[in-house]
Amino acid sequence: MSTNWNSGLLSCCDDLASCCYGFWCCPCLACTVAGDFKESYCLPLCDIFSPAVFAACGIPLCVPPAGLSLRVAIRHKYGIKGSLCKDIATSCICVWCNWCQMHRELRYQSGHGPVTMQPR
């Protein structure tokens, strides 16, 4: 049974804590997402250093490997609808939104319920 992502890609206003955290320190949010998914906290550093290393060897790299692989793994683990093509586009075009959406999904899947803005 396939489901949709718990929140939309551009639903940052539903979870301002993640959005602000991701905006001001995207590597910190990315490392948190990797750790929450039981992967190495250092995995997202591949997205930071890989383009420079590959470019030094003359190989262009435009797809962030950690962001893409975690997105695909999360989607498959929780039976979320989508395709590899959409995952590549999302990981390349909306890097911060991708990490924020994955963070919200992991929080939802861990039993914290849907992430919503709380009225004051």
| 10-26 average pLDDT score | 66
Q: Are 87 and 71 in contact (CB under 8 A)?
A: yes
- Residue 30 pLDDT more than 50? yes
pTM listed for this prediction: 0.79
Q: Are 44 and 66 in contact (CB under 8 A)?
A: yes
| 8-27 average pLDDT score | 69
Chain position carrying tokens 């929140």: 7
Q: Hey, what are 14's tokens?
A: 């539903």
Q: Hey, what are 31's tokens?
A: 């490392």
- Indicate the pLDDT class of residue 86, thresholds 50, 70 and 90: very high
DSSP secondary structure code for residue 117 in this structure: P
Sign (positive or negative) of CA dihedral 38, 54, 95, 26: positive
- Indicate the pLDDT class of residue 117, thresholds 50, 70 and 90: very low
Please state which of the ranges 16-20, 65-69, 89-93, 104-108 shows the lowest mean pLDDT. Answer: 16-20
pLDDT, residue 8, reads: 87
pLDDT, residue 118, reads: 39
